[in-house]
Amino acid sequence: MINIDTLDNVIALVVVILLLSLIVQSIQTLVKKILKVKSKQLEDSLLDLFDAALRTGKTDPGKVRKMTGLMPGIFRQRAHHTASEESKALLAAVKTQMKTLGRVTARGELMLDSLSKSDLLNILDRVAPAGFGKDFVARIDKVMKALAGIEATRQRLAAANVPAQVKNSIAALEQRLAPMRQHYEAVKAGDQNASSRVIISDVVALRGVVIDEVLDLLGKADALIVAEQAHAPAGSEAATALGETLAGVRTISTNVQALRTEIEEAFSAVSVKLDAIRRWFDTIMQGFEERYHRGMRTWSIIIGALVVIVLNANVFTIYRNIAKSDVLRGDLTAAGKNIAQRQEAIDAKEKELAKADAAAAVNIKQQLADQQKEIDELVERYTGFGFHPLAWAELKAWWSGFTTGKGWWGRRADDARTLAGWLVMTMLLSLGAPFWHDTLESLFGVKNLLRRKNEQRNVENDPGAGNPKP
């Protein structure tokens, strides 16, 4: 049977571990916010993704990149050194569009802590052709030149002095050319270099224009003008106007056929790359999540070790103090529920911040201030139980007696025990605050169960609690 006092000692120790875990968790969150760890790793993953899509067969997107330096998850990986210039250009274009769409902090900085597949594809629709390579830019130039030729010829046809029947045919043709004209004018918008204003969604929109119907109208207009020419006197003004109009119609027909070819080639080129991005997204992002969590776990251990040393959290000393002091044990046990609720509140706050980050409705400066306040409160709570951080005077005294003085071996034995206590506590903290929160809840449940059983046993053993005589 488990002794209640022993169980209280364990509960009190778990309360201390949970409190320290909350400090580690808060510091880790602060570090992530200051150094933009997730944003940097997500950028590198996007470079991996674009390399896989834009250079199919020349890269291995499934290969996990190695971290650089001794601080995994903090400094940039090697993606920016190995990625193609094409991928870097596309990433820059995506980041620009994200800022334009409001994915920024209150200070106007890019917020890239989360990105779904649908969001990325929507953003890519607004990216200029330069982001998909020079070949694609050349195709777009041809598309815009074909549109410019159609528009110039259309304007000449509109001013031609031709019979009413031909005018009506040209008017019907203009109605069918209207989507192309509107699209061209919207893209150009007074810019002589119209192709520089094209975005991917423009290419998709152009592909939706029904070109077959335009060509059918052009064929009918051609036949009608030829018939009108047969009745016009040779060398007359009407014959000349009809000849010019016929030439214009045939020029438009040639340009429209060229436009269809260029649009299909341009769309095919971008479609292949967008499909590759769509296909590789889940694989690359899964690798990103795995690298990110591994890096954060490593940093959790590093931060945990620093917290343990600074706060002098020797697990053996803490347990010994708890076992010796009924007051300390009682205070920690009483505070257990409150600290467990603190963990739940922190988790809820983290979820709210994640939603705010995803919506870019975030004030980083305020977040950092709140996180610093949270750390200060947790440390104050820890020291309030009588645990003392490592003082500078203690370090100086230890160093001054490190090489000289009596009892050197005894002091080194104490150092070894302290290091062992720190190491064990660091490993315990690496399990994370959620683990210790659940453990504490389970221990409280065991304690309540034991208390009920003891109360039931006491009632059964009470001499005055027997069955009354009939």
Least-confidence region, from 134-148, 268-282, 433-447? 134-148
Element (H, E) at 194: none
The pLDDT score that the predictor gives to residue 68 is 39
Question: Which residues, including other chains, have CB under 8 Å from residue 266's CB and lie 6 or more apart?
Answer: 136, 139, 140, 143, 203
- Assess contact for 215 and 256: CB atoms under 8 A: yes
The pLDDT score that the predictor gives to residue 212 is 79
273 and 337, same domain (yes or no): no
| 318 domain residue, yes or no | no
**Residue 67 pLDDT > 70, yes or no?**
no
Q: pLDDT digit string (tens) for 363-405?
A: 566 667 777 888 888 888 888 888 888 877 777 777 676 666 6
Q: pLDDT digit string (tens) for 154-185?
A: 788 877 777 888 888 888 887 877 777 776 66
Q: How many distinct structural domains can be found in the chain?
A: 2
Element (H, E) at 50: helix 37-54
DSSP assignment of 356-396: HHHTT---HHHHHHHHHHHHHHHHHHHHHTT--PPPHHHHH
The pLDDT score that the predictor gives to residue 424 is 95
224 and 149, same domain (yes or no): yes
Q: What is the CATH number of the domain that holds 169?
A: 1.20.120
The pLDDT score that the predictor gives to residue 380 is 87
**Residue 207 pLDDT > 70, yes or no?**
no
Q: Mean pLDDT score of the chain, rounded to an integer? A: 77
The residues facing 145 across adjacent strands are: none
High-pLDDT (> 70) share of the chain, %? 74
Give the domain range for residue 343.
4-35+325-455
31 and 171, same domain (yes or no): no
| 219 domain residue, yes or no | yes
Nearest CA to 178 out of 229, 141, 214, 126 is that of 214
Q: How far is CA 7 from the centre of its chain?
A: 44
422 and 342, same domain (yes or no): yes
Angle among Cα 330, 334, 337 to the nearest 5 degrees reads 150
One-letter amino acid for residue 360 of the chain:
A
The pLDDT score that the predictor gives to residue 66 is 43
One-letter amino acid for residue 15 of the chain:
V
316 band by pLDDT with thresholds 50, 70 and 90: very high
Q: pLDDT digit string (tens) for 225-283?
A: 888 888 888 878 888 888 888 898 888 888 888 888 877 777 777 777 888 888 888 88
Q: What stretches of 159-236 show up as alpha helix (H) in DSSP?
A: 164-188, 200-207, 211-231
The pLDDT score that the predictor gives to residue 352 is 64
The pLDDT score that the predictor gives to residue 124 is 80
Q: Where does residue 71 fall: left (phi above 0), alpha (psi -120 to 50 degrees), or beta otherwise?
A: beta
| 79 domain residue, yes or no | no
